[in-house]
Structure 1
């Protein structure tokens, strides 16, 4: 069997790749399913009912900075270390992350591992829906976990705060790429989180995260992904800052940028949950300029 062109253990791997490596002793699989409140789905319950053999559940809301009033902000390194050790994920492991939507929240955990300096991590292309559709093995029991040592080195250049994003927007020194839907970006649809203004960061470009995906939840080929960014007016020669509603689907765009060889990208962790909250931050509505 020839490897899929998607197979890159540092970005994206196919279901075929995972099936071949499922019993590798140094493989760790994470179910990072997460859904918006209006989705009517419970990620933990779904994990308990069925998951890929050996998968551990990665709770995006809990493995976060709970000191912040913003949703699931990146955790302090010491908390990440504590949680990964308890899950038996450590140094020398190849990590594969998937979610129950196809390719939605798994990219957020891929980005989080990279933020912590861990690069042997990939997203499962098409996620659990593709795995199940292919009739592959599943189980309903959590794995037996042994504590594993893990070292991290936070890569501060991979994340931006509101001050840095405001500066970049004012000077136009980076492409701010918004992964939300067109209606939310243009301010035509209300935000799912109450109390937020509608619109987008001035100068941002809109690349809805679904536009870099195929209908089956797999990521489009790098050549197609590049066309999507360019069609949205993104200058791929400039540094990029990805954003969305709360820093989850922004990571899909970060993964897509990495896939096309764009290495100078960071994620705005607060995203619209933060920017849309403060009246002193400018907001644009309507189509991008």
Structure 2
């Protein structure tokens, strides 16, 4: 698909080594250094920007100067063009998380490599091993507050729904309905949230589906591009990929909740809904097979 927020593999290969271009690999460190990476690509993952003191892993480090130094260490300048890639079939939407984070931090020239590492290697394009070192950039953080939402504000929205605000849950349907997940104190979803799985927007070659297909899926869920749309998942990663997909589809009033269910489920003042009958049906369980504590009352 042709889109200002995407770049295809052929175009990127022709531009390798171009001044002002920063290619950012957001896969794991071992995959980057030992499995190979696009020539000249620097490496960073979303975990490096998380709040070191928070239990909820998705929350951003509140020390924005520390984040700024980390971003500068990647060679990113104010006017850099940043191309982000990952392995779309072997992550949780990490390229979307990095896109959202950099957009929130105020960077204005971001793209995602369509098809990522999967398509790059399938087409036998050049790669190299080892870490890439670069001179620090001059990027200055200027947060775009309209791109983020925090727990207390979202709690107010959940308690007093607004007809022009849509909360979207990007997790699996099982998680949304209330499946017990290890490490999560309370299963379920934010009351009134619409379920839109993050994983349904790629073609078999890891490229993003065309806009007609994306919009058809969003229309089925009742999403409205004129509404404020708030995305969440478990830790703000899958939801950030959905944020990116919605950006492709032309949604302008978008916010991501980085703390997401890791944080929400730990605050017992935050309301939670479940649909255990639907979950039971989805899992193909009879009532006798459902643990007592999970049975609808």
> Could you say whether these structures have the same fold, taking a TM-score greater than 0.5 normalized by the shorter chain as the test?
yes
Say if 1:185 and 1:200, in contact at 8 Å, map to a contact too.
Answer: yes
Say if 1:98 and 1:128, in contact at 8 Å, map to a contact too.
Answer: yes
Deviation for aligned residue 1:78: 0.8
Does 129-138 or 164-173 show the bigger shift? 164-173
**Deviation readout 1:10-61 (Å, 9 max, x if unpaired):** x22221221122221111011112xxxxxxxxx1111111111111111321
Match 1:176 to one of 163, 167, 187: 167
Cα RMSD after superposing both structures? 1.8
Match 1:86 to one of 73, 76, 80: 73
Deviation for aligned residue 1:283: 1.2
Question: Residues 98-177 of structure 1 correspond to what in structure 2 (within 5 A)?
Answer: 98-102=85-89, 104-173=93-162, 174-177=165-168
The structure having more radius of gyration, on CA atoms, is 2
Match 1:23 to one of 6, 17, 20: 17
Aligned to 1:65: 51
Deviation for aligned residue 1:279: 2.3
Say if 2:78 and 2:140, in contact at 8 Å, map to a contact too.
Answer: yes
Structure 2: how far apart are the matches of 1:282 and 1:73? 20
**Deviation readout 1:72-127 (Å, 9 max, x if unpaired):** 42233212211122221122210011112347211100011110110201111121
Partner of 1:280: helix, strand, or coil?
coil
Alignment: residue pair count: 271
The alignment's TM-score, normalised by the length of structure 1, stands at 0.88
The alignment's TM-score, normalised by the length of structure 2, stands at 0.86
Say if 2:184 and 2:262, in contact at 8 Å, map to a contact too.
Answer: no
Moved over 6 A (4+): none
Deviation for aligned residue 1:205: 0.5
Structure 2: how far apart are the matches of 1:120 and 1:182? 34
Give unpaired runs (5+ residues) of structure 2. 280-297
Say if 2:75 and 2:136, in contact at 8 Å, map to a contact too.
Answer: yes
Distance verdict in 2 for CA 1:23–1:261, change over 3 Å: same
Partner of 1:211: helix, strand, or coil?
coil
Aligned to 2:218: 229
**Deviation readout 1:148-180 (Å, 9 max, x if unpaired):** 211221011110011111222222221011110
Structure 1: how far apart are the matches of 2:151 and 2:265? 11
Structure 2: how far apart are the matches of 1:251 and 1:108? 5
